[in-house]
Structure 1
Amino acid sequence: MQNIFMNLEHVRAFAAAVDEGTVEGAGFVLGITASAASQRIRALESRLGQVLIRRTNPITVTEAGTAVLRYARQVELLESEAMDRLHGIAADAPEGALRDPGVRREPTVLRIGVNADSLATWFRPVFAEVADWDDVVIRLDVVDQDKAVPLLTSGEVLGTITSAEVSGYGTQVRHLGSMRYLAVATRELLAKFGFDPESPTPAEVDLATLPMVNFGRDDDLQLNFLARRGIATVPPMSVVPSSAEFAAAVAAGVGWGMIPVMQLEGIDADLVPITADPAVDVPLYWHHWTLASDKLARLTEALGRAAEHMR
């Protein structure tokens, strides 16, 4: 089979177009014309004999483009670290050696997938650590923990937090812990459906009719809670796609919802369990590329430390 080598400038143009959503945006961030960016992408497609992007607005990636995007992200990370090491070597070189200590290195972009509830709770100490890393910036994609793996396999992120235990090809997985959710509602809401607000113990209510709050189309937590109790119909449902606002909606009595225990502690509202067994434990795993990357390893350790406080 003939070896096919990809021009890295062409690969960068392709990745930039995916990031920015347009060829024009790619040209802007690369400091070239849109025409030059388009020519580089078409040259890469011609070289590979595959269409890599669909020229929609925004741009979407084909199956072949997914493989190239993952390659582009890995090259970007490893090249950045190699340049960091070379810069360090040059800075320590004897006087008169070829070096330019005044050159400012651009920080490495670490793209991460994270679910909204983690971002609102145990993940936050990671920001304090990243603030001390002058060689790194992070970009987060917020995605439900059940739907996060495709971000990694497509190359959109270098690592993602997910409830899936099994890792894919070329990736590693680390168990972070479990987030405990409780199905809760206000006493006022439950009183409308026959619940005694003064009762010290939770009572089963008619979950088929009790209003519910859902996070969004990818959130199956509430629906799975109902399904395990034999309820196939969807009750009156409000959608609030933000972790803090979701909890605020439940606290206001809009409907019942699954709220992380860590988040419940900060809510000033009289919330009570809606069933005798309201708890659901969601395991979380950190999936990341298998790369000899110091920065990726540093991020992995920071996540592990932050996750020690998960409950």
Structure 2
Amino acid sequence: MIGLGLACSHAAGMFRPPEAWQQWMIDRVAPGVFERYPEAARQRDSLEVCQDLYHRIHAAFDDMRAEVAAYKPDVIVIVGDDQGDMFNLSNNPSLAIYVGSEPMWGHQGYEWDVPMKDRTVVKFKNDPDVSSHLARQLVKRHFDVSVMHRFEPVGREGYGLPHMAARIAPELDPTGEIPVVCVMLNEYFPPLAGGDRCAALGRAIAEILGERDERILLCASGGLSHYPSDKDFNRGDIDTPLDKWVLERIQRNEVDQLEKLFSFDSQTLRSGTGEIRAWISVAAAMDRPATVIDYMPIHACFTGVGFAKWTDRH
């Protein structure tokens, strides 16, 4: 059964100390960002503002951890994207699940100033029974799942498990004892799923895992609006009206409205903003109003940073 749902951003800056934020912004945001967004200029000019935002990020993680500790899940299922860590352009599946028994490996986010190849390796347990069952049943429901029986990342050298899980799983379970099942949904590389397909995926996951005896936590990782690469729309821009609209929809359980996202092309719906797809999937799976824990447009993270939860206590 799925008794708890969570959703959160996973931007690199969330794990970088606030004392490093201001220079990071000065060096990397696109021209005009500070002029367009008074909040961006405030973050650039005030360490105190940055420290307050950092504390809010980690207070939200504390809130999520408290929910996990109260629920005591047997398995964590994370829906999120790959971004070229696990796969490369020789094979970039729309949907993939690892079903093997060997541990996955990756890196948490806090060693931000260490080259990836030199960072501490973190191991993550898979649950082969749950992941295999989920893959088989999704195929029966006409989802074309790429099934990985071996954990062999072929994307960026030394990266391993995509940061959608490698950064977030330790925040949910610092012990590393709870198995993690990753549902890797392509959210960056066209062709891409529309909001309706993401919602259908979420409903299928709920139907499949709802039949299981295990206590399952379902988590969306990624978003909200952001454009992390200088090749994208504008690095440092944040579409706050879009983010707030998405959060209002999940608060009201208006998944039918979320399904309309990504049905048309827009500059502001490309790049990292595509990670909202994971939120649509989990919102559809939980099928009840969410509680928004916090939302912050953090230009130092290039991201509209959001946290939400679906509990049995409303």
* TM-score (normalised: structure 2): 0.23
Query: If you compute each CA radius of gyration, which structure gives the higher value, 1 or 2?
Result: 1
Higher RCO (CA 8 Å, separation ≥ 6 residues): 2
* TM-score (normalised: structure 1): 0.23
